[in-house]
Amino acid sequence: MFVPTADTTDSVDSTATTADTASVDSIIANRPTLTVPSLVQIRDILAQLEAPIISALTERLQLATDSSLYSNNGAKLKAFLGAIELADGALGRYAYGKLEYPYVATALAPSPDKTSKSVTFPAGRFHQDSFTGNSNLTAFYLQTLVPLFNSTTAYYYHLDNSTVDPAAIFHADATLLQLLSHRAHIGKIVAETKFAGNVTGYTPLIQAGDDTSIRVLLTNTTQEAGVLAQASTAATSFSNAWVGSGALVSTQFASNLQNAAAKVFRELIDITTEIEIQYLLARFN
């Protein structure tokens, strides 16, 4: 039987005592030097995630849902996520530099880096900070996306005529949430590459803790419009492909997918931006 055990080689248990500080410091000191790609390359990486996100969203929209599955602020979904995150952590999903962060089993996240005389973080070198956007993503998922999951039919077929399959639903939720989280946390390397490209511009703002001016400096509304337009095109392609492939879908399927995709990518840009700001504020820690 597979019994997941947490891979703690690069994470720090939140219950760690000061007696563990020396080993935590040595984990941090021995981390690899990870250089971030250029902004052009990172935007390509972000673009590559659009199709999987719209695909996961399409599959999730087509599952019949019982809203009571998400009662108590998504307690059942969170319990499900926590269980699979233990298995994922044992497989190295949350290791340093993977840009993947747990929603529930947060002790598995890599501990933040510390700059020291022997371990410096020159511009362009990835620096692990402690912020994650996962609680924002969970709130968005439960409050905004789940109400859009209102299909009454599903592609799982049950001889007992039941349509709701809680395990299938939570697996689909987990896949989608992991993709959203990964996409948003690429904001950390976006921030590093922007910092490297304008050290003199960002440094005084970081030192002053001026999050408002940092936001202004890193926001690019033309790029945001391009991301939203591409998400809309991808949503149209996916709904056409499902219909063209013979899927039995409701008449509102295409517009539901468009609507959900627009909300997802607007939120992703906002959370990615917040992750960029928080990363920069911690850049000299």
Ligand X SMILES: O=C(O)C(=O)C[C@]1(C(=O)O)C=C[C@@H](O)C=C1
- Exactly one of 108, 227, 275, 277 binds ligand X (CB under 6 A); that residue is 227
* DSSP three-state, residue 11: strand
Report residue 205 as tokens. 């703002």
CA atoms within 13 A on the CB side of 151: 27
- Verify binding: residue 65, ligand X, rule CB under 6 A: no
- Verify binding: residue 272, ligand X, rule CB under 6 A: yes
Q: Which stretch binds ligand X (CB under 6 A): 114-122, 152-160, 215-223, 249-257?
A: 215-223
Q: Where are the beta strands (DSSP E) in 73-231?
A: none
Q: Which stretch binds ligand X (CB under 6 A): 18-26, 121-129, 152-160, 268-276?
A: 268-276
Q: CB nearest ligand X: which residue?
A: 272
CA 152 – CA 63 distance, rounded (Å): 8
By CB under 6 A, the count of residues binding ligand X is: 13
- Verify binding: residue 56, ligand X, rule CB under 6 A: no
Instruction: With beta carbons less than 8 A apart as the criterion, state whether 195 and 202 touch.
Output: yes
Phi and psi torsions of 35, nearest 5°: -95, 135
Taking the least distance from each CB to ligand X, the nearer of 57 and 108 is 57
- Verify binding: residue 84, ligand X, rule CB under 6 A: no
Q: Where are the beta strands (DSSP E) in 240-280?
A: none
- Verify binding: residue 190, ligand X, rule CB under 6 A: yes
- Exactly one of 77, 273, 279, 281 binds ligand X (CB under 6 A); that residue is 273
* DSSP three-state, residue 35: strand
- Verify binding: residue 285, ligand X, rule CB under 6 A: no
Q: Would you give the DSSP letter of residue 107?
A: G
- Verify binding: residue 278, ligand X, rule CB under 6 A: no
Taking the least distance from each CB to ligand X, the nearer of 164 and 228 is 228
**Beta-ladder partners of 31:** none
Q: Which stretch binds ligand X (CB under 6 A): 83-91, 117-125, 222-230, 256-264?
A: 222-230
CA 91 – CA 98 distance, rounded (Å): 12
- Any idea how long the chain is? 285
- Exactly one of 71, 116, 219, 240 binds ligand X (CB under 6 A); that residue is 219
Q: Which stretch binds ligand X (CB under 6 A): 146-154, 158-166, 230-238, 269-277?
A: 269-277
- The candidate with the shortest Cα–Cα distance to 166, out of 74, 238, 250, is 74
Task: Give residues in contact with ligand X (CB under 6 A).
Answer: 43, 46, 190, 218-220, 223-224, 227, 269, 272-273, 276
